[in-house]
Structure 1
Amino acid sequence: MIVFIKNIFIILFSLTIMSCSTQRKENFKAKEIYKSENLIITQISENSYIHTSFKQTNDFGNVPCNGLIVKNNHETIVFDTPTNNQNSEELIHWITENLHSKINAVIPTHFHDDSLGGLQAFHYKKIPSYAYSGTISLAKENNFVVPENSFNDSIVLKVGNEKVIVKFFGEGHTKDNSIGYFPSENILFGGCLLKELEATKGYLGDANVSQWSATVEKVKKEYPNVQIVVPGHGEYGNKQLLDYTIKLFGIQ
């Protein structure tokens, strides 16, 4: 009888802990925790942060450009650099001083400067960079700073006791756009492959419009449990961003 009661207690205690953990995730309220003239950092979950810098364009004005920071046990990984080296230096300093964390890696998800424009600042600090082999080829062709380490299909990197997955699913915004996923918080960094809700098609100069929807369909199938989706520009959301992007580029 005592063993039975003890087992019931353990089960109830475990369910309570799980419930509290789920509630914390669901009840997390995003908040802007840093803002300067050139950089904004928004915490969107317990261990994930969007960094936003800006790029002045002829066609679309001063465009906000998103990247993602994920953290575990005083280690971080950064998806996409800010748009230039000065802004990257500011981001690196903020992570070091405010998150008290080492940056294990930076991962540019495609070859445009809203993804790797500030890469040299990371290299200067001896922070290793990883990118899809197609991104490395296109960076070389365009005389941009070249990521140091390549992968052909996907790569898994450690951040503290957790992992991140980076994978190429196919062409869309560019020939080389890859996706980042942080399984412990079910957060997807879509970069410029994914659009915020109500967005237009945007810059298509290097796009494969005919393949874009099919590529995002593959992403959606791969990560059915995704809860937070971060696009390369604009507001983050949930898996509706995947559906919106599929629909947007399904209309030819």
Structure 2
Amino acid sequence: MSQTSLVESSSGEPPRQAFDNTTTLRLNSPYLAGESAHGNKQSFALQGRYVYKTTATSITPTYHVSTRNTQTGNPWQLQICRLLPNDARRLSAASSSGAAEPFVKYDDDLTIYSGEKIYIPISLGTKPLIVIRGQKQGTVQGSVLMEKFSRSYKFYHMIPIRRASTQAEEERMQALMHKRGYRDSDDWKKKLLLTVQEGPGKGSKELTWIDEDGAAVGIEKDGKLEFMDEIDTKKRDFIVVCWACKNFVLST
């Protein structure tokens, strides 16, 4: 078994399999009529435990976020699900009337993605900050790693390289690693899904979200994520999750 097949949780739990399935969600999937809110632009902002969607005509609670910190208060785990219509209506009604926010219990069974700050004992290139895993059919399966660069963040889908499990192949790989050292590319293919790029100006607080085809899909500024055009629900879910996980793991 490769050394990279196990990831140690920051919780101190026993190591577990790091990368599971390999189904890829295409981020450039076509927009489906009826899935977008009114108007071309949507912006998202996290307020408390909910992510609100704002359009030209409405403000709607859309996602429910559950987080866990370590005993020392550092960010550890994040889960996110879509709010059920009834819960979204209750929250909207309370906000409109100025009433106290109703309590909505987070339902683990509805989780679409989870993220966890991780510790990897050996390098996978740039040290990853968080691993994101899809939890439902139609989400990105396996693991997506977020890595920090000088002026950007990148989200990679880790896809295992399948090889014939023969003794000759194993001996060949062992000899190669002994000769020039282990490389993560021996076992994993990194597929770039998203890039978050800082603005050109020094100290710029505006971030551009770029998909796997190099197209700008959103702008992050002042704590809000705004999509530049209509976008299908699955692609939006994934980008919102990556945005929430990035800000969560960088919150301390």
Is TM (by shorter chain) over 0.5? no
- Greater fraction of residues in strand: 2
- Greater fraction of residues in helix: 1
TM-score relative to the length of structure 2: 0.28
Higher relative contact order (CA 8 A, sep 6+): 2
TM-score relative to the length of structure 1: 0.28
